[in-house]
Amino acid sequence: MVSTGQRSHAGVEETRGKILAAARELFERNGTRGTTTREVAERAGVNEATLFRHFGSKRALLDAMREQACGVDEFRAFLAGLPGDDFAADLRAIAYFIVDSMIGKRGMMCVSLAEDAAGTDDAPEWRGPSQIHQDLGSYFAAKAQAGLVRGEPAFAARYFMGMFFSYVVGRKLWNSAVPDRATLDGIVDLFLNGVSA
């Protein structure tokens, strides 16, 4: 076999994946300001030039890492797979999915919130949550057309996501290390009482 010096697409994606995983681990543990690109490269098992070839800058690496962490495609697939015959049951399933996803990404959420709080002009926009909000808004719009939801679907989506974001962020305040399904069900019930037609 003759080598052309070009890496396969799978090899490129594998290297990107290693760099993103290393960045996420280090950024979650040390923060973005407490982590250098050299440390990320070493953790990923590549040299720093490779990191910059894939991402261009530390800021672009953070942006890519945040987008990857959102799981937009997984959320879309989840919404598409809902049975759709019981709105309340579907909302409970969405709530469980959202909370489990947020808990799994809590460290990344903290990194993002810290970046936002730092107020740097070059902080990247985190597009993933906006896309998930749009997808959930479309879900609520379809339910509104079916006569199951009243009010503005985009607002309903923002409110629904916001309730569970608050739950995940505030869990430690309520001494709830593990998601309590009864609490999540109660939140869904309160939501349904406000938007049900």
pLDDT tens, 64-120? Answer: 887 777 788 899 999 999 999 999 999 999 999 999 888 887 777 777 777 766 665
Same domain as 109, residue 58: no
- DSSP notation for 31-91: -STT--HHHHHHHHTS-HHHHHHHHSSHHHHHHHHHHHHH-HHHHHHHHHT---S-HHHHH
- DSSP notation for 3-34: --SPPPHHHHHHHHHHHHHHHHHHHHHH-STT
* Confidence (pTM): 0.74
The two tokens of residue 74 are 């997984």
Same domain as 76, residue 17: no
Question: Do the beta carbons of residue 111 and residue 27 sit within 8 Å?
Answer: yes
pLDDT band at 19 (very low <50, low <70, confident <90, very high): very high
Question: Do the beta carbons of residue 143 and residue 79 sit within 8 Å?
Answer: no
Same domain as 63, residue 79: no
Number of domains in the chain: 2
Same domain as 31, residue 58: yes
Q: Is residue 1 part of a domain?
A: no
Half-sphere exposure (CA, 13 Å, Cβ side) for 52? 7
Q: Where do we find the tokens 């808990």?
A: 103
pLDDT higher at 6 or 141: 141
Same domain as 90, residue 30: no
Per-residue pLDDT at 2 exceeds 50: no
pLDDT band at 62 (very low <50, low <70, confident <90, very high): confident
Q: To which H or E segment does residue 194 belong? A: helix 181-195
Rounded Cα–Cα distance for residues 4 and 20 (Å) = 26
Percent of the chain with pLDDT over 70: 84
Same domain as 78, residue 47: no
pLDDT band at 1 (very low <50, low <70, confident <90, very high): very low
Q: Is residue 76 part of a domain?
A: yes
CATH code for the domain of 133? 1.10.357
Same domain as 31, residue 51: yes
Same domain as 86, residue 175: yes
pLDDT for position 111: 74
Rounded Cα–Cα distance for residues 139 and 137 (Å) = 5
Q: Is residue 2 part of a domain?
A: no
Sign of the alpha-carbon dihedral angle for 145, 146, 151, 155: negative
Q: Domain range holding 96?
A: 71-195
CATH code for the domain of 39? 1.10.10.60
Same domain as 129, residue 80: yes
User: How many Å is the maximal CA-CA distance in the chain?
Assistant: 67
